[in-house]
Amino acid sequence: MKQAKGPEFIRFFRPILTLLLESGGSGTPAEIVDRSIEIAKISESEQEAVNKNGQSRIKNQVHWARQYLVWDGYLDSSKRGIWSLTDKGKSVDTTTLNPLELFRNVQNRRAKIKRPKSTDTPMIDEPITDGMELQDHRMRLLELIRSLTPNGFERLSQRLL
């Protein structure tokens, strides 16, 4: 059951909301995720697919759907380990809910949130006034790396990777 447009996870908006409405407004992630997959009629082969982390791709999609429902005000995220409906979620009509529209609304709102740029905020410890201080910092770091023993350099490299 693929969507014509939008990300695949929006197909889980309705099942999550429906399950929570039927279960009295809240449930555990495990039961909601599993039942949402059943309701969406996800094939066994699709359920076996994993992402780069080795996690279930489908379960990851259900969790993304839940996050978008939180961002749009349908679900409450205040209690860890419990998915619960907000007042907006309790009054939703899942038959008229447009998943793609919900997704786009969230995307538009989140795009408007102005995030501070790192260049807008000066460093508190040491503001760099010219290129000379930056060059000195680099030279000190290079000297430190060169002074490491081969074993120390190997350990540093392992930690960086």
Q: Delineate the domains of the chain, giving CATH numbers in brackets.
A: 8-112 (1.10.10.10), 131-160 (no CATH)
Q: What is the pLDDT at residue 61?
A: 92
Phi-psi region of 146 (alpha: psi -120 to 50; beta: other; left: phi over 0): alpha
Here the contacts of 46-49 (C-beta below 8 Å, separation 24 or greater) are: none
Structure-token match 């279930």, residue found: 56
Position 3 scores a pLDDT of: 43
Please give the share of the chain, as a percent, with pLDDT higher than 70. 83
pLDDT average, residue stretch 29-55? 90
Half-sphere exposure of 111 (CA within 13 A, CB side): 6
User: Is the pLDDT at 30 greater than 80, yes or no?
Assistant: yes
Orientation of helix 57-71 relative to helix 99-112, angle to 10°: 70
pLDDT tens, position by position, 63-102: 999 999 999 999 998 888 899 999 999 999 988 999 999 9
